[in-house]
Amino acid sequence: MPLKLERCTIRDWRADDAASLAKNANNRKIWLGLRDLFPHPYTINDANEFLQRAMSAQPATSFCIDIGGAAVGGIGIRIGEDVHCHRAELGYWLSEDFWGHGITSEAVPAFTDYCFANFDLHRIYAEPYANNPASARVLEKSGFVLEGRLRKNVVKDGQVLDSLLYAKTK
C-alpha cells in the first residue's frame, strides 16, 4: 500500500492521523451507516485506540482514505476464519464533506482488486443497511452483485433494519 487513485489515496494509517480521523469520523450520519463498534461521538481517544490497533495488525487489513494529506475515511476487510478463511467482509466510510464526489466509487473497486491480489480470497462481501441506497449503489458500480435481502437483520439506533448482501468473487 499505498494506492494512488485519481481522487484519493488509499494508504496505511499513521499515528499523526488521529486529529483528522476524530474530526471526520465524529458524525452521526456516518455512524448510522456503520456497526456499533464504530463509536459515536468519535473522540480523539477513540482515534488513538483505533490507530494503535490498525497499525499493529498483521497483516494490515484496515487503511486510510487520504485526500490532500488528511485522513477523511477508512476502508478495510475482515478476513473470515475456519471454513470462511477465503472470504472477507468489506467495510468503508467517508467524511460527509466528500459525499457525492465519486471518491468511494473509485476507492472500493481499486481496494477490492488489491485485496484479491494480496490475500488468498475467493469472495469479498458487504452488508449495507437497506436504508443506505448510496452504499448499495457504490457496491453495484464496483461490480458487486446483490445476493439477497436479510430481513430484520440488525438493530441500529433502536430501529430494526434489513441488510443487503452484496458480493464479488474472484
Is the per-residue pLDDT at 1 higher than 80? no
Distance CA 150, CA 165 (A): 7
For 110-149, the pLDDT digits (tens) are: 999 999 999 999 999 999 999 999 999 999 999 999 999 9
Contacts of 11 (CB under 8 A, 6+ apart): 1, 2, 3, 63, 64, 66
- Whether the CB-CB separation of 94 and 132 falls below 8 Å is answered with no
Does 91 map to a domain? yes
Query: Is residue 86 one of the residues assigned to a domain?
Result: yes
User: Does residue 159 lie within any of the structural domains?
Assistant: no
Which domain covers residue 79, as residue numbers? Answer: 3-124
What global pTM score does this model have? 0.96
Place of cell 471518491: 103
pLDDT exceeds cutoff 80 at 84? yes
On whether residue 37 sits in a domain, the answer given is: yes
**Using alpha carbons only, what angle is made at residue 50 by residues 97 and 78, rounded to the nearest 5 degrees?**
90
How far is it, in rounded angstroms, from Cα 37 to Cα 156? Answer: 11
CATH number at residue 17: 3.40.630.30
Q: How many domains does the chain have?
A: 1
The torsion angles phi and psi of 101, rounded to 5 degrees, stand at -110, 5
Residue 135 lies in a domain: no
> What local confidence, expressed as pLDDT, does residue 77 receive?
98
User: Does residue 168 sit within a domain?
Assistant: no
Question: In this structure, which amino acid lies at residue 41?
Answer: P
Q: Is residue 33 part of a domain?
A: yes
